[in-house]
Amino acid sequence: MHNRNESHHVSFLTRLSLKNRALIALISVVAIIFGIIGAGALKQELFPSLENPQATITASYQGATPEAVEQEVTDPLEGALTAVPEVEDMTSTSSAGSSSITVSTEYGEDSDDVVKALQRAVSQVQASLPDGVEPNVMTAGTDDIPVLALSVTSDADEDKLAANLNDIAEPELKKIDGVSQVMIAGAKTKQVEVTIRRDDLEDEGANLDEIAGILQANGIPTSAGELKSDDGTAPVEVGTRIRSVDAIKDLVISGQDGPITVSDVADVTIANEEVESISRTNGQPSLSVSIMKESDANTVDVSDAVAEKLPELEQSMGENTEFVSAFDQAPFIEQSIHDLLVEGGLGLFFAVLVILVFLLSVRATIITAISIPLSLLIALVGLWVGGETLNMLTLGALTISVGRVVDDSIVVIEAIRRRHAAGGDKFANILAAVSEVSGAITASTLTTVAVFLPLAFVSGQAGEMFRPFALTATIALLSSLFVALTIVPVLAYWFLRQREATVKLSRAEKKEIRRNRKGMLSEWRSEHKAAKKASKKQNILTVGRHDGTAATTTAPAGAAGPGGAGSGAAGTAASGDTMTAATTSARSGYGATEEEAGEVDELAGMHSPVTRLQKTYMPVISFSTKHPVAMILVAILLLAGTGAMIPQLKTELFGDTGQDSLQISQTFAPGTDLDEASKQAEPVEEVLQDNSDIESYQLSIGGNTFGFTNDSSLTGTYTVSSKSGVSAQSISSQLQKDLDDLEDVGQVEVQSQSSMPGAQTIDVTLSASDPTELNDATETVTDKLEGVSGTQSVTSDLEAVQPVIEVKVDHEKAAEENLTEATIGQYVQRAMHGQNIGEVVIDDVSHSVLLFDRNADTVEELRELKIPGKPEETTPAGGAAGAAGGAGAAGGGAGAGAAGGGDSGGGGAGGGGAGGDAGAAGDPGAMAGAPAPTSEPRFISLDDVAEVTEVKTAPTIRHTDSQRSTTVSVTPAGDDLGAVSADVQSALDEVDIPDSVSVDTGGATQEQNEAFSQLGLAMLAAILIVFVIMVATFKSLLQPMILLVSIPFAATGSIALSLLTDTPLGLTSMIGLLMLIGIVVTNAIVLIDLINHFRARGVELRAAIVHGARLRYRPILMTAAATIFALIPMALGLTGGGVFISKPLAIVVIGGLVSSTLLTLILVPVLYLLLEGAKERRGEKKYVKNMARGQVLDVAEARAAEGSDARDRARSGTQKNTTAEVGSVATAERADSTPSDAPVSDASASDSSAPDSATERRDDLGDRDTDGRTDTGEEPKH
């Protein structure tokens, strides 16, 4: 029995609403207005904003082999990142010239905090990394996905088109509100190339390192401080910026014979950077434009604004420029929202239609149906205030809630109409009706809401995605309770007509009613004859007129005795004018309160005519309560059948999102250059061009799309858009078959362009320290998994070896030539790809400056590459002679000096004489003026200091948690991820893999297992929360157990309907099961609540169950049918929008509601009968035991009294023989002197009091009925 205080509080809320009807109307209007405003103000997105629980650290190490990158870059970084607490898993790839490390963190971690922690770890090992290696930390989330991607084609050449995009399109697009970034890809970037002319360099004796240093040092002004001036302080800047190619040409460098310029030894030009990617749209060369939005911008608004701007840009750029959408989130978002709104509207219509069919009243239907839009609008206000967005999850929650938010109003309006049908005061009837059901609907709504609480503690992808869903549903459900308790009563007061009971019954119906009533009264008479006789002497309402408390005092008078049901209630209920009398009493103020009148009405409802609808149920409930054991056996069989169905279920993480785009990846063989890749892509493009279901496609070869991949193998990515009305997922299988028939195109795989985060493949990761064992195991596993059924493709990242040119430096020889491994690497880089030495700004455009020394196109040319060696020191001839002359003069030989300076003519001789004089004079400046020895540039071949060899090695080295690894990826062909995962695991168990190789299954399988595990725990927590609420509501531990029985039977219908509709069990289905935990107990709460009301007023157990179930039959059917019919449009997927969210969830809820409703109407009464009947029998046994104990006490006391009398008689007889005369005199004197009111003797008192005491004990024991109730009708405290 629910807490009466709770009902009083709720009744107070309803009373307050009825007394302030104008205020309630105003609140309703305000809620509608703000709901409409909030709906328009909500941002529209595809999914809630999610932080990708990954971060990537990339580093470039130009010219290094994969092994060198692994040892010198990847390993130190991995060691530092392992110590970061937020890092859970880590993978890395080391390829030629680059390192990429991906770390995984928990969902919900703040991306900024993660980036800071990773940056701190990287900075700790920065000093140990090779010079020039600068690691970069990046993260990405759903907000980083472009709003739309455009392909641009034009009759203009590529350079002009790129210039137009940079100069015209990009500035205009950035002006649009909400646009944060515009990225242009595919355009050839200009760079300044300084190409050394080797012959001129050697002739001029210039130094290549000096040229690089001068290019780096010049053109960058240096701050030299500040000077004071009349206007204050002015900064001093030394140097000027380079603004043109000519400025670079005129840079001065040192030559053998004096200063020279860069143009003397090198060519300086502006040229296109080396092409690293290719972009084509529908087979035509194109450039791509990606537009990113600000985090708080509306995706649809940004997309629409860009679409409006494109025609203007096409006209401004001219040259037949055309923008083609390759990817756009907005149309899919708009279509999904529109479809869900249509399905929600259809559900609303069907729900209202069901209510109308049951109530057969337009006014009552409208009052009830108003709760649906009001609750949803209040939920929209909550989302708006809470900063949430209108996305697939929040809109799905609103759509699913359409059928549920009306349940509370249905119960309230049905109770009000039942009260009105008997006449009486409208105000009092509404209050009494709401008081009757308020506790039940409050408890049922709280249980439905409470099941969402555990989602707050669910980690991972499931928790992040479905928390907005739970928040939306919670606000809608709580709003529906508020509407049912405040607005619905007010509307009922205004618009619901009150009618007297004018039910016309046929003779057969009247006869059936009389027979049922006679049978019930006969049963009560046989069990409670004494209580019935006592009850007939009093009339509840008559006594109530004379004593304000008499009604409540005498109402349960018949509750005495083991039967637990008093006929006073029955006698009152049997009166044909009971409800009218009760209401009149309440209105007249003759003692009966509104609550008391409601209690009498509940009992009168037991004898209300059986409706046609109830006639279909009465035989069922009668049979089930008479054969409870059989019903329990049937229930057990159903549970066994449910367990047998579970293995037949398909499982998946997310279903087909219904998007109109997909991706195709094409991986080319290692070593394939860009031109060859472009040729291999043409057959794939032809297949796409010939497919009639494809609207357009866009190809990108080389570079990265919107991910962090950094493999050495060249890849191509196709973004394919299907025609309107065609799901991209539906054409993927046929596309894969067509592409598999192609030859010499590399590895082509069709992938889902799902916007859902998470893996799409089953990943088998193999790790080992021995590369040979790892490679052999990977090949074995790949071959085995290719035979697994249900797979679309099996790929491995174990790449074929490719030739790598290794330059192994001989450190001793290099040291002799004053060379290091780093400087040799720079020389080789200059010869191969050029050395990037900085940037210059020319015409307001930043250009990279590269220094080239191009003369090594083959291995042999690389070996013969000329690099600067140790300079050769020489002394000039004239300078040597002067020095010798000076020395000779010092010894008195001037002629030697003349001879020594012959090459210099007279000047040489004079120089010698001067030297002699100076030497003779001992002038120390003579030696100082002698020319010093000079060094001449000397070039050596690369193979003089290094060994250049060609080896074959893996182009990429991968690590998983710092250990070498490979990954085999399996793409499921169908929608049964669980079955494919099981088959993959079975195949792996059959493979003979060395113990030194570890195997781990992850990807989609791991994510599904984690999500299912988390939601399973959430369901257990939800059941516990529901149980706690039920205990608090019914003040019992036993009755909540009856309610929880309906939960497993809800799974029966859910699983059965999922199998019938071939719907896999995914995350959305699990959320549906979680919702069912709260939904299915609501009907049982309403049913048991009324049964408890009847029993509290003395009705016999089975009669209370039968008539409680009969009276709750219609509202239970009505609420279940309204919810089911509201979900049917979504279950059928009539519009196709949001099917991956709404369809499986709706199917699960419909199936669970059907089975749980049937079992609530049959099994719950049976269980109630069994458990409460057992409780009553225990009470009867206790009653009999107490009565027997009282009888034993009576016998003992009687015997004690008899023994006392015998002793008294024996003693008085003896005294009589000896003192008869004295006694006679004394007696006569005592009789004359004793007053008439003197107390009797102790013996007499004992004789008279013993029976009375026993009688009192028996009466006290008899005042308790079989289930422990006292004569006040209250249950004992547990």
Is residue 746 domain-resident? Answer: yes
Tokens of 1062: 């071939």
Is residue 1208 domain-resident? Answer: no
The answer to whether 224 and 261 are in contact (CB under 8 A) is no
What domain count does the chain have? 6
The answer on 749 and 832 residing in a single domain is no
Residue 800 CA, chain-centre distance (Å), reads 39
The answer on 136 and 164 residing in a single domain is no
Of the candidates 459, 474, 502, which is a domain's last residue? 502
The answer to whether 321 and 158 are in contact (CB under 8 A) is no
**pLDDT the model gives residue 530:** 53
Hey, is 58 helix, strand or coil?
Answer: strand
pLDDT-derived band of residue 518, with 50, 70 and 90 as boundaries? low
pLDDT-derived band of residue 312, with 50, 70 and 90 as boundaries? very high
Task: Kindly provide the b/e burial profile for residues 924-944, where b requires at least 16 CB atoms within 10 angstroms of the residue's own CB.
Answer: eebeeeeeeeeeebeebebeb
Provide, rounded to the nearest whole percent, the portion of the chain with pLDDT above 70: 75
| Residue 1200 pLDDT exceeds 90 | no
**pLDDT the model gives residue 311:** 92
Distance CA 1112, CA 364 (A): 18
How far CA 356 is from CA of 364, 485, 501, in Å, comes to 8, 21, 20
Q: Quick count: other Cβ atoms within 10 Å of Cβ 1244?
A: 10
Is residue 226 domain-resident? Answer: yes
Task: Kindly provide the b/e burial profile for residues 84-114, where b requires at least 16 CB atoms within 10 angstroms of the residue's own CB.
Answer: bebbeebbbbbbbbbbbbbbebebebebeeb
Q: Of 357-371, 410-424, 539-553, 576-590, where does the model show the most confidence?
A: 357-371
The answer on 482 and 416 residing in a single domain is yes
| Residue 489 pLDDT exceeds 90 | yes
Of the candidates 502, 522, 554, which is a domain's last residue? 502
* Radius of gyration, CA atoms only, the chain: 48
Which residue has tokens 């989330």? 141
Which residues are 940's β-sheet partners? 867
Of 228-242, 598-612, 691-705, 1129-1143, the least confident: 598-612
Residue 192's nearest CA partner among 1062, 1131, 846 is 846
Is residue 229 domain-resident? Answer: yes
Amino acid (1-letter code) at residue 14: T
Residue 759 dihedral angles phi and psi, to the nearest 5°? -75, 150
| Residue 1217 pLDDT exceeds 70 | no
What are the pLDDT digits (tens) for 43-102? 888 777 776 678 889 998 876 778 888 899 999 999 999 988 888 889 898 887 889 999
CA-based torsion, 637, 639, 643, 648: positive or negative: positive
Which residues are 191's β-sheet partners? 271, 848
Give the full edge-to-edge strand order of the sheet including 322-328.
Answer: 179-185, 287-293, 148-153, 322-328
Residues 6+ apart with CB under 8 A from 437: 411, 412, 415, 1086, 1089
Residue 253's nearest CA partner among 1049, 708, 851 is 851
What are the pLDDT digits (tens) for 1156-1192? 888 888 888 999 898 888 888 887 777 777 777 776 6
Distance CA 1183, CA 1265 (A): 7
The answer to whether 1163 and 631 are in contact (CB under 8 A) is yes
Q: Specify the higher pLDDT residue, 1106 or 581.
A: 1106
| Residue 29 pLDDT exceeds 90 | yes
Q: Quick count: other Cβ atoms within 10 Å of Cβ 255?
A: 18
Q: Specify the higher pLDDT residue, 587 or 274.
A: 274
Is residue 230 domain-resident? Answer: yes
Which residue has tokens 């980083």? 144
Distance CA 251, CA 266 (A): 11
Is residue 123 domain-resident? Answer: yes
What are the pLDDT digits (tens) for 887-919? 444 444 433 333 333 343 333 333 333 343 434
Q: Specify the higher pLDDT residue, 908 or 808.
A: 808
**pLDDT the model gives residue 1136:** 63
The answer on 309 and 256 residing in a single domain is no
The answer on 215 and 79 residing in a single domain is no
**pLDDT the model gives residue 28:** 92
Is residue 1061 domain-resident? Answer: no
- SS3 sequence of 1211-1230: HHHHHHHHCHHHHHHHHHHH
pLDDT-derived band of residue 1238, with 50, 70 and 90 as boundaries? very low
The answer on 229 and 174 residing in a single domain is no
Quote the DSSP letter at residue 963. Answer: E
Q: What angle do CA 978, 983, 984 make, to 5 degrees?
A: 95
The answer on 306 and 183 residing in a single domain is yes
Across 656-675, average pLDDT: 77
Distance CA 59, CA 73 (A): 8
Of the candidates 573, 608, 643, which is a domain's last residue? 608
Q: Tell the burial category of 231 from Cβ atoms under 10 Å away from its Cβ (0-12, 13-18, 19+).
A: exposed
- CATH number for 683: 3.30.70.60
What are the pLDDT digits (tens) for 995-1019? 888 988 887 778 788 888 888 888 8
The answer on 291 and 159 residing in a single domain is yes
- CATH number for 13: 1.20.1640.10
How far CA 21 is from CA of 371, 429, 488, 490, 587, in Å, comes to 16, 16, 11, 6, 21
pLDDT-derived band of residue 122, with 50, 70 and 90 as boundaries? very high
Distance CA 978, CA 1004 (A): 10
| Residue 1131 pLDDT exceeds 90 | no
The answer to whether 321 and 153 are in contact (CB under 8 A) is yes
Give the full edge-to-edge strand order of the sheet including 661-667.
Answer: 284-285, 278-281, 694-701, 715-722, 661-667, 747-752
How far CA 754 is from CA of 329, 656, 728, 975, in Å, comes to 11, 8, 10, 14
Is residue 99 domain-resident? Answer: yes
The answer on 292 and 239 residing in a single domain is no
Distance CA 389, CA 296 (A): 10
- CATH number for 166: 3.30.70.1320
The answer on 419 and 491 residing in a single domain is yes
Distance CA 725, CA 1136 (A): 9
Quote the DSSP letter at residue 358. Answer: H
Q: Specify the higher pLDDT residue, 1147 or 49.
A: 1147
**pLDDT the model gives residue 951:** 78
**pLDDT the model gives residue 223:** 64
Distance CA 815, CA 1124 (A): 84
543: domain range? 513-608
HSE, side-chain direction, 13 A CA sphere, residue 1205: 11
Distance CA 286, CA 325 (A): 12
The answer on 208 and 166 residing in a single domain is no
The answer to whether 122 and 137 are in contact (CB under 8 A) is yes
The answer on 519 and 475 residing in a single domain is no
pLDDT-derived band of residue 424, with 50, 70 and 90 as boundaries? confident
The answer to whether 148 and 320 are in contact (CB under 8 A) is no
**Chain-wide mean pLDDT for the chain?**
76
